[in-house]
């Protein structure tokens, strides 16, 4: 093959490209066999924004109640969220009544959920959405509501009977590692036995890390996604901590991610109060690179057009949802710039460059194209499109070219490299 400048493209480079296609196509470890989460789950989850507000007297618009979820369901349907893929509307902690019913079943707080979870599920389904719920493997939920220990089969069946489509299973108040591990496995099998398709979202590794190293191959056989690290907060420090943890542990965690099972770095907090515009861009770009579940925790009734456009950016969502399902990784960190990359289907690559320097203005960074995608992102040449912070075509590049990019402080430039 001849390049424009007359350089011959060695045949072995093309052969490498083909080899890459074959290698990337090998599946990772075996996934939970429920046919769900073939791409990372997308939706909305109440925790970060609404937490455990149960005071509907004082704060009727932001307490955890069926009204809140019905309003969000309506907006997910009417404001374009569902159309771009946000499908699961998820309840977190604090939905329960303080006690189980006379048959040992969990029940929703009757004042805050007068129609019950089944009524809410019907409403959510009528909007073409799916409903997620929350429970805990131990004796109590993190906020002190009834735990599922000793009730796994009953609870799985109750959720299925109500028409629930996703379970977030937390790990508070569990008295031993053995109970934690057995509990997560037991609930997975119990959900499967109900015959209903229920995405199973775990926090198993997060609660294991302080005691022993999680066996991710095993976790993937039971869970559709799993939290590894601390709860996300509405702050830049929190986003940085999550990215640091992920890159520090990437050797251990990225290969296990793939269709059916994903690492979960926690909710998107875009559209809230704590992140600047550039920091919101960083969260969106890096959650796409990490093949993370995209579960927003914000108030869809009050969200800026800019945050909404970022969350609904179809090109970025397409990277997150790429069918190859390979999680990206941090390629390098130098001089306060991080470069992350992710292999995509059709031999394309996503590349994110983050400027972590919090003094000064936008910085230029130059990278050789040949160093991207394990040398194969742009063989023999490619078209580069910048997706974030704004979409624009950067044009035609050769393997031997350099790429010079300008990145705002705490911001990210997200690129897509594709065959010419």
Catalytic-labelled residue, pool 231, 244, 255, 315: 231
Interface with ligand GLA, residue 93, by CB under 6 A: yes
Expressed in percent and rounded to 5, the helix, strand and coil fractions of the chain are 35, 25, 45
**DSSP string spanning 66-110?**
HHHHHHHHHHHHHTSHHHHT--EEE--SS-B-SS--TTS---B-T
Contact between residue 384 and residue 397 where contact means Cβ atoms under 8 Å apart: yes
Q: Is position 230 annotated as part of the catalytic site?
A: no
3-state secondary structure (DSSP) of residue 51 = coil
Q: How far is the CB of 47 from ligand GLA (least distance, A)?
A: 5
Distances from the Cα of 157 to the Cα of 133, 321, 420, angstroms: 13, 30, 52
Q: Which of residues 2-61 bind ligand GLA (CB under 6 A)?
A: 47
Interface with ligand GLA, residue 397, by CB under 6 A: no
Interface with ligand GLA, residue 264, by CB under 6 A: no
Interface with ligand GLA, residue 174, by CB under 6 A: no
Judged by beta carbon, residue 117 or residue 377, the one nearer ligand GLA is: 117
Judged by beta carbon, residue 187 or residue 414, the one nearer ligand GLA is: 187
Interface with ligand GLA, residue 166, by CB under 6 A: no
Interface with ligand GLA, residue 181, by CB under 6 A: no
Judged by beta carbon, residue 141 or residue 412, the one nearer ligand GLA is: 141
Q: How far is the CB of 304 from ligand GLA (least distance, A)?
A: 25
Contact between residue 245 and residue 264 where contact means Cβ atoms under 8 Å apart: no
Interface with ligand GLA, residue 253, by CB under 6 A: no
Q: How far is the CB of 211 from ligand GLA (least distance, A)?
A: 17
Catalytic-labelled residue, pool 170, 266, 278, 313: 170
Q: How far is the CB of 171 from ligand GLA (least distance, A)?
A: 8
Interface with ligand GLA, residue 231, by CB under 6 A: yes
Identify the burial level of 150 via C-beta atoms within 10 angstroms of its C-beta, where 0-12 means exposed, 13-18 middle and 19 or more buried: exposed
Interface with ligand GLA, residue 348, by CB under 6 A: no
Task: Give the Cα separation of 415 and 316 in Å (integer).
Answer: 10
Q: How far is the CB of 52 from ligand GLA (least distance, A)?
A: 6
Give the residue, chosen from 20, 42, 72, 142, that forms a contact with ligand GLA under the rule CB under 6 A. Answer: 142
Q: Is position 231 annotated as part of the catalytic site?
A: yes
**DSSP string spanning 107-147?**
-B-TTT-TTHHHHHHHHHHHTT-EEEEEEESSSB-TTSSBP
Residue 389: cis peptide before it, omega within 30 degrees of 0: yes
Judged by beta carbon, residue 199 or residue 337, the one nearer ligand GLA is: 199
Judged by beta carbon, residue 225 or residue 416, the one nearer ligand GLA is: 225
| Beta carbons within 10 angstroms of residue 195's beta carbon | 8
How many residues bind ligand GLA, per CB under 6 A? 9
Would you give the binding string for ligand GLA spanning residues 184-203, x where CB under 6 A is met?
-------------------x
Return the range that interacts with ligand GLA (CB under 6 A); candidates 55-63, 139-147, 286-294, 367-375.
Answer: 139-147
Helix (H) or strand (E) holding 170: strand 166-170
Return the range that interacts with ligand GLA (CB under 6 A); candidates 141-149, 185-193, 298-306, 385-393.
Answer: 141-149
State the sign of the Cα–Cα–Cα–Cα dihedral 47, 51, 53, 59.
negative
Give the residue, chosen from 50, 87, 91, 92, that forms a contact with ligand GLA under the rule CB under 6 A. Answer: 92
Strand arrangement of the beta sheet that strand 199-202 belongs to = 262-264, 225-227, 199-202, 166-170, 130-136, 88-90, 42-45, 294-296
Q: For residue 92, how far is the Cα from the chain centroid?
A: 16
Picking from 269, 236, 253, 252, the residue whose alpha carbon sits closest to that of residue 412 is 236
Judged by beta carbon, residue 87 or residue 170, the one nearer ligand GLA is: 170
Which residues are at the interface with ligand GLA (CB under 6 A)? 47, 92-93, 141-143, 170, 203, 231
Catalytic residues: 170, 231
């Amino acid at each position: 093959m001849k390049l424009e400048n007359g350089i011959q493209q060695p045949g072995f480079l093309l052969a490498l490209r083909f080899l890459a296609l074959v290698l990337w196509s090998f599946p990772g470890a075996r996934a939970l066999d429920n046919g769900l989460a073939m791409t990372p789950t997308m939706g909305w989850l109440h925790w970060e924004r609404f937490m455990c507000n149960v005071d509907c007297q004082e704060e009727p618009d932001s307490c955890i109640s069926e009204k809140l979820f019905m309003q969000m369901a309506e907006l997910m349907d009417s404001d374009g969220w569902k159309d771009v893929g946000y499908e699961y509307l998820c309840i977190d902690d604090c939905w329960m009544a303080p006690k189980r019913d006379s048959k040992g079943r969990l029940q929703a707080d009757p004042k805050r959920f007068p129609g019950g979870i089944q009524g809410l599920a019907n409403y959510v389904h009528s909007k073409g959405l799916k409903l997620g719920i929350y429970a805990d493997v131990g004796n109590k939920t993190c906020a002190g509501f009834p735990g599922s220990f000793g009730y796994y089969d009953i609870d799985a069946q109750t959720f299925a009977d109500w028409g629930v489509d996703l379970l977030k299973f937390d790990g508070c108040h569990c008295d031993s590692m053995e109970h934690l591990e057995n509990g997560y496995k037991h609930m997975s099998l119990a959900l499967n036995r109900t015959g209903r398709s229920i995405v199973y979202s775990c926090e198993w590794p997060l609660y294991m890390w302080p005691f022993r190293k999680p066996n991710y191959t095993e976790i993937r056989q039971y869970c559709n996604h799993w939290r590894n690290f601390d709860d996300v907060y509405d702050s830049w420090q929190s986003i940085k901590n999550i990215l640091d943890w992920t890159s520090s542990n990437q050797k251990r965690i990225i290969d296990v991610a793939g269709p059916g099972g994903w690492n979960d770095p926690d909710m998107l907090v875009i559209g809230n109060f704590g992140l600047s515009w550039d920091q919101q861009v960083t969260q969106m770009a890096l959650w796409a690179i990490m093949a993370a579940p995209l579960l927003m925790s914000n108030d869809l009734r009050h969200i800026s057009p800019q945050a909404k456009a970022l969350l609904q950016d179809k090109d970025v969502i397409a990277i997150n949802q790429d069918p190859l399902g390979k999680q990206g990784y941090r390629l390098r960190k130098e001089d306060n710039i991080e470069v992350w990359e992710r292999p995509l289907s059709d031999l394309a690559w996503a590349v994110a460059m983050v400027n972590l320097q919090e003094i000064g203005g936008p910085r230029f960074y130059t990278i050789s194209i040949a160093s991207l995608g394990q040398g194969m992102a742009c063989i023999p040449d490619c078209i580069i499109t910048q997706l974030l912070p704004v979409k624009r075509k950067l044009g035609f590049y050769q393997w031997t070219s350099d790429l010079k990019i300008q990145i705002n402080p705490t911001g990210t430039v997200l690129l897509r490299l594709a065959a010419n």
